A and B are shown apart, each in its own frame.
Chain A
């Protein structure tokens, strides 16, 4: 076994240096790159135009409130609607808040006021980050107005809002995009590393008498333990970058997560081995692995939740090892779920790995037999 590990190491360092870099540092590189990209956590500097058609003291007070929203950059306050609409059309604004004519008058005369909020919906992410602050602002302004009116009408004993929501968001209170996205990207990069290195190693040796000389199961075990350990190391470095450099939370225990990751690496390596046994050329194999990476990530249910998928896509999703890892990893990191919560997915990964291992083993045995060193059965 030790000799096989040494062989893998020397091959990696001598002939596949680039693959070694991908195996060990892809997760770290992605953690740095994307961690830095989302370091602001939420979308800020959203260009907003306020169109004040009323020009009253009340509307100006509301404008001042809008200016205090830290995610907004109020680029223009205008009294002309066409100017505001032009700014939206010319991409100078992502949203326009219109304070209608007679805003103050309607409020003082106890008439409800509609406040149009026109957004550029082409980027849904910016739109959703632009919507939350104005909803909050309008809610607070409306409540204050109700209280003022009630006091003026001599009905101060009535509550401003009879029922309200008291929201507690323990996992991601600020709606951080980094918390939502980063772990998955780092783990997908780690997947590219472990699958690429395992597949290339098996592809090369499946055409040599190595499996026949050392026994199929022993060689597979050696390869998978070697690349699996390297992948765990790679994931740990990537995770350390996220936690130590980008201050990402990790509420769970690493001992809870590591068994799941080991089961995942086992399944992913066996899937890579199956690819390696299928493809005749090294180039086709590498192409398949990189073409596979993006769908595996997007269909994993990590971003677009499983219940939002059509049934066929749920089935496809269930065939990807990443499907059983990414959501769980985020749950461990952000919620600190115990191992019992991960157990069904760990079992699924192990089952997937075992089935693929048996198939790969039997294919390799037949190939080894062709070298005349092993019986076909």
Chain B
């Protein structure tokens, strides 16, 4: 145990002496991604969707509707024009949606004839499209309820009953854990883990492919590999926690979990990904190829993690991919720890991540043995001897 610990210490020291650049990259990348994506989602919600209005009525009532649309946080009226103008602006992409207030809007309202306001919305970007559509719906519903109540009061219904009759059932929304639906709590936390795996694989795998066997490494190679993975994972965990702290302080990210489970999960994930990087680096000869090979896995893996697109909506193949990727055991737990303060499957998931890590370490060891055998064969073929010790 003491030997393992001293190996760990020597590997940790090596990070700041032999692999300074690698250690800097491992620390820099999660922080850089956090600041980039956290800053990107800093407004937390998309508001003021640009809309147009074609007012075919031109009455005081229709202008009231336009004012209400413009006052809504979600919407910003950029154009009030003819049907042709609004359609052209919509096609050009200058406005995201437009409403057509029909002729006789005010007159029909006054007479109690139902009126329909046509809304055309571009939902190609569902984040924006939903903002616009919900904004329209809310404004028109409010005006409709007000008008219905006014109609009933005019027919002699007491004013307190008139409102209830206009909208007898109303939805009262309560969102737990991320009450504003902010993207930083939803997505940036997951991207932070993604940054960690990108840093681990694209930095450690080439380091592994490049690294010459140092003299002391010939004794107990698996222990040495384990100590190396442990040291790198510890450094990555520190980097993750520091980035998270910056996210909390600078970006107002929610963190309801104590430090220990976060560190435990971060370390388990870092260990699995470092071991994966070792395995890739041990089997691939060219350092830059370690990146090309893993591109197909690393980049889309975050989408399969289940943290964005839920597993229940995946088909069998995607769900299988989701379960074989280490991030599938970390991303949801990490966000749950941050926004809810606990993750019920944390223990199991960490155990699985560590098991994945150990399996990759063993695989890496085989890769290194294979490389060593190839090197020895080459040395024999050229009549030279491998470096002693």
Q: Which residues of A contact B (CB under 8 A)?
A: 18-19, 22, 26, 29-30, 33-34, 36-40, 42-47, 73, 88, 90-91, 107, 110-128, 131, 134-135, 138-139, 141-142, 145-146, 149-150, 153, 155, 157-173, 175-177, 179-180, 185, 189, 192, 196, 200, 282-283, 285-287, 290-291, 293-295, 298-299, 302-305, 307-310, 312-313, 316, 327, 330-331, 334-335, 337, 341
Contacts and interface: CB of A to CB of B under 8 A. Distances in A.
A315 B317 CA distance: 40
A162 B170 contact: no
17 contacts: A19-B292, A34-B300, A36-B317, A88-B176, A112-B167, A120-B176, A121-B339, A122-B178, A123-B310, A125-B186, A138-B171, A158-B148, A162-B148, A169-B133, A175-B130, A304-B40, A310-B43
A123 B334 CA distance: 12
A331 B112 contact: no
A88 B40 CA distance: 30
Interface stretch (B4-12, B113-121, B212-220): B113-121
Contacts of B309: 37-38, 43, 125, 177
B120 A170 contact: yes
B303 A294 contact: no
Contacts of B194: 294
Contacts of B307: 123
Contacts of A158: 112, 148, 151-152, 155
Nearest to A32: B317
B112 A22 contact: no
The winner among A22, A127, A165, A316 for most chain B CB atoms within 10 A is A165
A172 B133 CA distance: 12
Nearest to B345: A91
A165 B136 contact: yes
Contacts of A168: 118-121
A171 B124 contact: yes
Q: Is the interface of B mostly helix, strand, loop or mixed?
A: helix
Contacts of A125: 186, 308-310
Given A119-B176, A159-B113, A290-B202, A37 B118 contact: no
Given A121-B175, A158-B112, A40 B292 contact: no
B316 to A, nearest CB: 10
A112 B164 contact: yes
A337 B116 contact: no
Contacts of B175: 118-121, 127
Interface stretch (B31-39, B264-272, B355-363, B380-388): B31-39
A162 B140 CA distance: 10
A34 B36 CA distance: 24
Given A145-B168, A161-B144, A291-B198, A172 B124 contact: yes
**8 closest A-B pairs by CB:** A121-B175, A121-B178, A112-B164, A159-B114, A172-B123, A45-B312, A163-B144, A308-B46
A175 B344 contact: no
Contact of B40 (A39, A286, A313, A335): A313
A82 to B, nearest CB: 15
A362 B307 CA distance: 47
The winner among B109, B121, B182, B298 for most chain A CB atoms within 10 A is B121
Contacts of A153: 157, 165
A176 B91 CA distance: 20
Given A45-B313, A291-B202, 12 more contacts: A33-B300, A114-B170, A120-B177, A122-B340, A124-B183, A124-B186, A127-B181, A139-B141, A192-B295, A294-B198, A304-B41, A304-B183
B143 interface: yes
A113 B299 CA distance: 48
B291 A44 contact: no
Contact of A303 (B48, B125, B310, B315): B125
Given A180-B125, A305-B128, A312-B39, A121 B176 contact: yes
B287 to A, nearest CB: 5
B374 interface: no
Given A172-B126, A291-B202, A167 B288 contact: no
A290 to B, nearest CB: 6
Interface string B150-192: 0110010100010111111111111111110111011100010
A299 B174 CA distance: 31
B147 interface: yes
The winner among A44, A149, A155, A294 for most chain B CB atoms within 10 A is A294
Contacts of B33: 294-295
A287 B202 contact: yes
A292 B325 CA distance: 22
A304 B45 CA distance: 9
A290 B288 contact: no
